[in-house]
Amino acid sequence: MCARSGGVLAPRRETRRVRLLHDGAMSYKRILTGTDGSPPSLEGVRHAAAVAKASGAELVIMCVYRPVDPVTVEQWKEQAPPEFAWRLGPASPAEGAVERGVAVAKEMGVEARTRVEQGDPAETILKVAELEDADLIVVGNRGMEGPSRFLLGSVPNVISHHAPCDVLIVKTYP
């Protein structure tokens, strides 16, 4: 929004309440981050844990998986890299992914709660952010799904446009 100021268009000054700690860092109460257990997604967890530690926030680490029929799973697993093929199956590998995230957080001195959910990753993260009353969502800049892996990933793109709270997109891929 712009306003005329002495014949010149100038941005309007808007007042926005910002939660600050004594050192100027943002203060959050609950931070939600997703992981698939891959090294890039664990980098996102590392950033989320750092913000949680600085602000004294609770950290919730989640993994979303998509259940599919067994025939489709086998066909897709043949084409998918082994480290990502588990996303198409049962919840147990997803539980391992969040546990790897918890280990990263613990290394940084941060305790975390976990959630494993079934569904579309972006939609599910947004739903959980509302249910958990998260005030920050931390996601990586790209996922490994389809052609979108070469652009800003579809998950962070959807989340950044529809989140009910602040979003931190961590550069996890060059």
- pLDDT, tens digit, 9 for 90 and up, residues 127-171: 999 999 999 999 988 654 444 444 446 888 899 999 999 999 998
Instruction: Place 107 in a pLDDT band, splitting at 50, 70 and 90.
Output: very high
Is 54 a domain residue? Answer: yes
Min mean pLDDT across 36-45, 111-120, 165-174 is at: 165-174
Is 93 a domain residue? Answer: yes
Query: What CATH number should be reported for the domain holding residue 143?
Result: 3.40.50.620
Is 47 a domain residue? Answer: yes
Q: How confident is the prediction for the chain on average, in pLDDT? A: 79
Number of compact structural domains in the chain: 1
pLDDT reading at 19 higher than 60: no
pLDDT attached to residue 153: 60
Is 12 a domain residue? Answer: no
Is 73 a domain residue? Answer: yes
Tell me the β-bridge partners of 112: 59
**Domain span at residue 99?**
29-170
The whole-angstrom separation of Cα 124 and Cα 109 is 27
Is 11 a domain residue? Answer: no
pLDDT attached to residue 103: 97
- For the four alpha carbons of 98, 163, 149 and 79, in that order, the dihedral sign comes to positive
